[in-house]
A and B are shown apart, each in its own frame.
Chain A
C-alpha cells in the first residue's frame, strides 16, 4: 500500500511520520494530542450523542455529522481525557486527516492505515489496536449515515 491511495491531508500526515525517527514520531503524536480540538458546546452538554470506542485503552468517545449541502462534508468529533495522550494523539491524526472529507473519501481509507505511521514498535501492537478500532468505528458510522441518506 502506498500513501497515494490516501486522501491528501492524511497522506501528508503519514509522510510526516515516515520522515521521522522513532522518538520524533512519538513527539509528533504528542503534538497531535495537544492539537485535538475541544468538542463544540452542543456536544459537550450531550455526552449521549457520542459513542465509546471500547478497544481503546483509555476512554475515547466519538461521533460524526454530515453537513447538509452538496459536498456532504463529514465532520468528526472526538473526546478523550488529557491523561490519555496516546489515544488523543490518534484522534488528532484522524481529525486532521479526515475531517471535512466526503463519505466516499473516508470510506476509501484502508483499514490498516494506522500501521503506516510507523509507531507500532514504539507504542506496541496492543496500543495500535485502539487506533485501528477508532478508524473502523468512523468508517462504520459514515457508511451507516450514507445509507440513511441514500
Chain B
C-alpha cells in the first residue's frame, strides 16, 4: 500500500511532488511507527560503503550502489532475479513506498532511485537534503541494524529504454539536448576525472558535441535540498536552453551524478523523456570514432557520424 504523499508549498511547485519527502515528514513518519511496521521503507545509499554503519536513520536499511545494484561481471545493473532478491531481503515489496536518502546531496541516493525505476518500482521517493540535512538538524541516528520481515518482490524484467540511453542511442540523439553534469574541467577536457577523485582512465577528454555544461550540484542548495522550481527553471530552461517537451539525455562519468540531474529534470521540472546515459564519459571518452568537442564551447553536431 502506498504511504500518503507529503504536502507542502515547496514540493507543490514541482511537476511530481510525490517524489520528495522532507526530513520533518520522515521524522514524523518514524515517530508514527511507519518505518518500524514496514509501511514505509527507508533506504540509505551512500558513496562510502561504511557510512551507514557509523549511524543511520532509525529503521533504515542499506543498499550499496556498487555491490548491490551493479552486476559484478558485466558492466550493467543487476537482473530482475537479483533485484527481486535484494528488495525482498530489505523488506521491500512491489507495492512498498520506498524513501531513499544518502550522502553528498543525495547523489548516490538518486542513482539508487534511478535503478529502482529501471525495474518499474512505482513509489520511490527521495529525502530532500539527504543524510547531511538529517545529521545537520541533529535528528536521531542509530547503529542498530533492522531485521526486516522479507518483502514479497516478483522477478520483474528491467525496462531500460524509457530512462536509460546507451552509446548508440546517444549517437542517434545528437542534435537534441544533452546535459553534461560533470565539473567544468572535465567538460573542457582539461581532465578526465573529477577533481580530487581517482583517475578512471578515459583516453580522451572533452564533451559530447552540443552538450550544455550544468554541473550536477547546481540543482542543489547549500543544505543539499533541491533548489526551488523557479531556480531550477532558470538553470535548465534559461541557461541550458531546454524547452518544454524536449527529449533530453544527461551524462557524467559513470552515470551517478547524472542520476541526480535526471531526477530534477524528470520529476521536479516534468520533462517526460529524460534518459541517463550511464556509459557516460568512461565509455564515450574511450570509444573509437565518436565525436568529441574540447573546450568551453558546446560545439556543433558533426555531419555524417561514422559514415
Chain A interfacial positions (CB closer than 8 Å to B): 26-27, 29-30, 33, 52, 54-59, 82-87, 89, 121-124, 126-127, 129-130, 133
Do residues B66 and A124 form an inter-chain contact, with CB atoms below 8 A? yes
Asked whether any CB of chain A lies closer than 8 Å to the CB of B51, the reply is yes
Q: Considering the chains assembled together, what is the distance between the CA atoms of A118 and B130 in angstroms? A: 31
Contact of B48 among A27, A55, A84, A133 (CB under 8 A): A84
- Measured between beta carbons, the chain B residues less than 8 angstroms from A89 are 50
Q: Considering the chains assembled together, what is the distance between the CA atoms of A89 and B50 in angstroms? A: 9
- The main secondary structure of chain B at its interface with chain A is loop
Interface size, B (range): 10 to 19
Q: How far is the CB of B49 from chain A (nearest CB, A)?
A: 5
Q: Considering the chains assembled together, what is the distance between the CA atoms of A58 and B198 in angstroms? A: 10
Q: How far is the CB of B138 from chain A (nearest CB, A)?
A: 15
Q: How far is the CB of A29 from chain B (nearest CB, A)?
A: 6
- Measured between beta carbons, the chain B residues less than 8 angstroms from A83 are 48, 51, 103
- Measured between beta carbons, the chain A residues less than 8 angstroms from B103 are 83
Contact of A123 among B49, B196, B198, B199 (CB under 8 A): B49
- Measured between beta carbons, the chain B residues less than 8 angstroms from A58 are 47-48
Do residues A86 and B54 form an inter-chain contact, with CB atoms below 8 A? no
Do residues A55 and B47 form an inter-chain contact, with CB atoms below 8 A? no
Do residues B48 and A86 form an inter-chain contact, with CB atoms below 8 A? yes
Do residues A26 and B50 form an inter-chain contact, with CB atoms below 8 A? yes
Q: Considering the chains assembled together, what is the distance between the CA atoms of A96 and B25 in angstroms? A: 43
Q: How far is the CB of B164 from chain A (nearest CB, A)?
A: 21
